[in-house]
């Protein structure tokens, strides 16, 4: 194998740093989304017992019921947000990402090693695998997490605003 020129070495190092920085940024985004979902679960878990106490108050019964239902739905959607996302593929579609945990987990160890060695030992193939992993992480993990977090915040906000308006009208 021929010796790499200094320009090729710097170019390779730069590509590696860009991929590493991108994946680190994505992991921070995933942590942030998960933390926001955990906060919603915590807030709603406090709100439910408070509203349960108000069910006995006839003037707040409907508002408390709406707030409880809203809280339960918001908790459920937040849990879906936190739950690890996987890439699903049709059984006949074998486009495997050798850097993605779900694809690795569906392979036998020997099969994975046999498939991964040629990729690991080829600069072009390992670069393509890293780029595919970034795409899969975005497409199959981050986008669904944001979608479920938005749904959870929407349920929380609109349901509780409606409950507050109803409480004001009933009082």
Let me know if residue 107 belongs to a domain. yes
What pLDDT does residue 124 have? 85
* Residue ranges for the chain with pLDDT beneath 70: 1-2, 86-94
Let me know if residue 149 belongs to a domain. yes
What pLDDT does residue 129 have? 87
Let me know if residue 5 belongs to a domain. no
What pLDDT does residue 62 have? 93
Whether residue 119 contacts residue 125, with contact meaning beta carbons closer than 8 Å, is answered with yes
Structural domain tally of the chain? 1
Let me know if residue 16 belongs to a domain. no
Question: Which three-class secondary structure string do you get for the chain?
Answer: CCCCCHHHHHHHHHHHHHHHHHHHHHHHHHHHHHHHHHHHHHHHHHHHHHHHHHCCCCCCHHHHHHHHHHHHHHHHHHHHHHCCCCCCCCCCCCCCCCCCHHHHHCCCHHHHHHHHHHHHCCHHHHHHHHHHHHHHHHHHHHHHHHHHHHHHHHHHHHHHHHHHHHHHHHC
Let me know if residue 73 belongs to a domain. yes
What pLDDT does residue 86 have? 66
What pLDDT does residue 2 have? 60
Let me know if residue 6 belongs to a domain. no
Let me know if residue 119 belongs to a domain. yes
- Model pLDDT for residues 114-141, shown as the tens digit of each residue: 988 988 888 888 888 888 888 888 888 8
Mean pLDDT of the chain: 87
Q: What sign does the CA torsion over 111, 139, 79, 93 have?
A: negative
What pLDDT does residue 12 have? 73
What pLDDT does residue 42 have? 97
The whole domain housing 96 covers 21-170
What pLDDT does residue 89 have? 56
């Amino acid at each position: 194998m021929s010796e790499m020129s200094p320009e090729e070495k710097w170019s390779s190092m730069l590509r590696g740093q860009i991929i590493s920085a991108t994946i680190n940024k994505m992991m921070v985004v995933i942590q942030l989304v998960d933390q926001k979902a955990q906060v919603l679960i915590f807030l709603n878990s406090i709100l439910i017992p408070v509203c349960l106490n108000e069910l006995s108050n006839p003037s707040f019964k409907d508002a408390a019921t709406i707030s409880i239902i809203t809280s339960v739905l918001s908790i459920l959607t937040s849990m879906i947000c936190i739950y690890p996302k996987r890439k699903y593929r049709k059984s006949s579609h074998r486009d495997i990402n050798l850097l993605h945990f779900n694809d690795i987990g569906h392979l036998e160890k020997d099969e994975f090693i046999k498939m991964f060695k040629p990729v690991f030992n080829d600069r072009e193939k390992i670069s393509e695998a890293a780029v595919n992993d970034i795409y899969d992480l975005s497409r199959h993990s981050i986008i669904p997490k944001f979608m479920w977090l938005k749904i959870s915040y929407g349920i929380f906000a609109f349901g509780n605003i409606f409950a507050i308006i109803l409480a004001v009208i009933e009082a």
